[in-house]
Amino acid sequence: MTTPEPRLTSLAHGGGCGCKLAPAVLRDILKGMPLAGPFADLMVGTETSDDAAVWRLNDSQALVATTDFFMPVVDDPFDFGRIAATNALSDVYAMGATPIFALALVGMPVSVLSTDTIGRILQGGASVCAAAGIPVAGGHSIDSVEPIYGLLALGLVHPDQVLTNRGARVGDVLILTKALEAGRSAGRACRYRRHRFRPAGPCAGDGAGRGIAGRALGGLSGPARWCRSPCQGRRAHRRIDAELGQLWRGSAVA
């Protein structure tokens, strides 16, 4: 008698972007690391915690590069692959770019999951890339304790049309491409993360992992406009959280 495979989510200590290191922990880890610059053609690096790095190729093209991977948020292998791939490609779109190809990042407990299950995860990711009109041109795989899947994604954008998570101003319209609190439900995560969104505006960002309040604060945190002190930053974050809480309660009533 064959022992049934465990649920994907039971093999992960944290699902989706909930696996991310806390911002304070990450800052402490990276405090001794040198900055990415100065390089004249590096348009977006590590300094602004953006969704991707951007390198100017010439006067009409810039290369956008990002990598994103996580552990299962759902138990269906195909859906896990689709959600993870969509999450990775959304970082390219958030920079205003068009993806050109992707590489798969795969870590799987091969003694626990069958090759069929692992294959379904990769097929789910490949289906999202195919829908975006790009190939999965290769990748890297390891035998790991927990299931991990994602993509390294590359895209192209005109240097004058790069979108970053900076530049938001008081009075700008905030457009959400999914419902608030969607990340708390696996069903909602499936519905929203299987769809790609192309932003159009002065400032854009993928809210996964940091929350809408964190993203909104980041959009206002250009040194010339905001955050003259950590105290001001904390006050702004609390205000954004409170206002979004009111918005969420109002939408629930409606």
- Establish if 77 belongs to a structural domain: yes
The DSSP letter of residue 213 is H
Q: Is residue 73 part of a domain?
A: yes
Which residues on adjacent β-strands are paired with residue 142?
Answer: 107
Q: Taking 70 as the threshold, does the pLDDT of residue 218 lie above it?
A: no
Looking only at the bridges linking them, the beta strands covering 136-143 and 98-108 are parallel
Average pLDDT, the chain: 79
Question: Which of these is catalytic: 17, 19, 129, 231?
Answer: 17
Write out the residue range of the structural domain in which residue 15 sits. 8-253
What is the percentage of the chain residues whose pLDDT exceeds 90?
A: 48
What would the pLDDT profile of 45-64 be if each residue is shown by its tens digit?
887 778 899 999 999 999 99
Active site residue 203: no
> According to DSSP H, which parts of 133-201 are helical?
186-193
Residue 112 to residue 104: CA distance in whole angstroms: 20
Tens digit of each residue's pLDDT (9 = 90 or more) over 232-246: 555 655 665 565 555
User: Helix %, strand %, coil % for the chain, to 5?
Assistant: 40, 20, 45
177 domain residue, yes or no: yes
What residues contact residue 7 under an 8 Å CB cut-off, 6+ apart? Answer: 75
CATH at residue 174:
3.30.1330.10
9, 15 Cβ separation under 8 angstroms: yes
Q: Would 100 be classed as within a structural domain?
A: yes
Does 1 reside within a domain? Answer: no
Q: What is the pLDDT of residues 15-48, one digit of tens each?
A: 656 677 787 888 888 888 877 667 899 999 887 7
- Split at pLDDT 50, 70, 90, the class of 148 is very high
Number of domains present in the structure of the chain: 1
90: in domain: yes
Asked if residue 147 belongs to a domain, the reply is yes
Q: Is the pLDDT of residue 71 over 80?
A: yes
Residue (of 97, 87, 71) closest to 177 by Cα position: 87
Residue 2 included in any domain: no
